[in-house]
Chains A and B, each alone.
Chain A
Amino acid sequence: MESQGPSPGGDIPLLPARMVNEFTYCPRLAYFEWVDGEFADNAETTEGRFHHRRVDQAPVRKAKQAEEEPAETTIHQRSVWLSSERLGVTAKIDLVEGEGTAVVPVDYKRGKRPHTPQGAWEPERVQLCVQGLLLREQGFTCERGVLYFIGSRERVEVPFDEELMARTYELLDGMRLMTQATVAPAPLVDSPKCPRCSLVGLCLPDEVGWLRQPHEGESPALRKLIPSNDDALPLYVQTPGAKVGKDGECLKVKDHDEVIGEARLVETSQVVLYGAVQVSTQVVQELCKRNIPLVYCSSGGWFYGMTTGLLHKHVELRRRQYAVATDRERCLQLARRFVQAKIANCRTLLRRNHRAAPDTVLQELKNDQAHAGAVESLESLLGVEGTAARRYFSEFAGMLKEAEPGARFDFEGRNRRPPRDPVNAMLSLLYSMLAREWTVTLQSVGLDPYLGFYHQPRYGRPALALDMMEEFRPLIADSAVLTAINNGEIKQSDWFERMGSVTLTPEGRRRLIETYERRMGQEITHPVFGYQISYRRVLEVQARLLGRYLLGEIPELPPFTTR
């Protein structure tokens, strides 16, 4: 897609006719694409582009099609680009044909002719009409246009009658007004357009619609418009000295001269490198181009940073984030919510997995949760959080099965830097993985992962990622550690002790990462929306909801708590 940012002079850029088409389909969609600079491909847009490219360049076909045109045609011009300052629009017209001063714009569309009374949907007719207006500006007479449907090889005539003209002017005005707004128009309600919309995953029409209304805690049965199993997956490279190269459509990992694995680019969501692993510039460029983050960690799992493509265009979102981050009261509100949700999830994990969770501890955690909701400062909140964490970790060992006799998985509370027992080592590794996951997710939706509301910014610390991960620690990381130990996926032989600190073997770490990734892919019922969704998608939905909250579209950021 061509996208034009605002020109340096600060004047409003010309609207592409294509965007008027989107606006007619749904104003919110046009806002996302035009104002926020969001563009997501789906099967339809990709196919459309593929056909267009062929239309634009195929010379053989061009000649053949020209023969099919009526013999008297004297104008036959492909890819005509016209703009008008007066109308404020610009368009690339696939084909202009005609005779003398009377011309007809022809627009190529993928697929078959739709069966509607007018032979085409309104957005296409309006887009064509804009092209007609541009031709008229050039002094041509233009009374009609043609839509050519590639799928069924049919031409549909669209007369530029008064009704269509009036509608087109009305939409152009509406669109100009919209570009000045700082927040997107409201989502469509229960519309059949949404399931076919390429931006449905970031728009969240039903979710936002539901969260905007006042409601009681009941889960609605929302349409599931976001697929949960379409995810691309991460590639981890932890072999010291390995090299990552590109081979066609795949990433190829070599250890010395031996190929140790391949990953398809289309299926890769991020590339995570532990320690001394080399990547070629070609790989870095390809990953940037495809918007696949490249993440660097120390061999021990410490997150150094990441390389991504260009920064997200959605400036307004970051502006709102900064405004909220400097507002003490709103920071406190959000911080209370993060801590409350985290304590709730810790308590649930204990209740479900402990051999005999003492009622007193469960009750105390419940009190902590209430307490966290009432504190008046970030400092007291830190205190409450610390107390709750100590209570929770003092009972953590009760969730571990006595797997191997003599195995030392005993756990006496949380310790880190360096972790002194295997459970702590595993928790530390998975927390840093979760923090990385959140950093990538937040950045990909256009937020700044380094500026948080509860955690304060410190050098290199992704404070917002740490905020957002609070309630997911028990659900994803702690729970994956329990699975790894209780299912015997990690054994005593998978870790070794050196000078009081404990480290996993590379093989042990590989298995732990796999357990974590399995957890991320697990489908659960979304507690707020009631549909089945994987944790991986939950994170993305939650990050987008944070964006919707910061932009003022929804009154609260719903906590993610399980029962």
Chain B
Amino acid sequence: MKVSLFITCLADVFYPEVGRATVELLERLGCEVDFPVAQTCCGQPAFNSGFHREAKKAARHMIETFAHADYVVAPSGSCTAMLKEYVHLFSEEDEREWQEKARALAEKGYELTQFLVEILRVEDVDATLPVKATYHRSCHMTRLLGVKDAPMKLLSNVKGLSLTELPCAHDCCGFGGTFSVKMAPISQQMADEKVSHIKETNAEVLIGADCGCLMHLDGRIRRQGKPIRVMHIAQVLQSGLEQEGR
């Protein structure tokens, strides 16, 4: 199966290891991985700030970049949800053509764990990670994209992983893209509450499926000097198998 990767700008620049794990994982599961180099960003920062003209530029570019793909897979629930938002972004009468193209992209867009469970029909990827961990369910992935169970199914089959449920898991971590800098004092309070819940679980590792939330929480955890490691779910699912994958 041929898979076109959308690595997201945060993963590209700050967390290339998340992209690497995604590639290795998909290849190990028998996928042929394609990375369209023209890709940039999904346009979410502009869209959520109300700059829809700029968001459309990014959207058109992404639609064209992935026009050839069978499946578009991203290690991010939030950016995948944005790909699906393009359909609504092109809502004017004279944008029918773009709306159709956007619909085509939306139909083949998948978040990584969603793709593994729904399309590849894999729930056990034979990973091993003997740590005590907790999982942060990001809002856009669960509420906007509607992916709730896939990460849990996959994590429950990781050998040695002891997963404790995060208290108040339904609450936002306070990242929210530009919100994190525009409303920094509120964002900080939200992060601190989330970190205190993470601490309650005694987890050594915090797992998440969105680099945005993870960057925000990791940044706050480091600033507070807490001994909690942050990992993207792609890295967890590739744990213990890095050698095979290379």
**A in complex with B:** no
B positions within 8 Å CB-CB of A: none
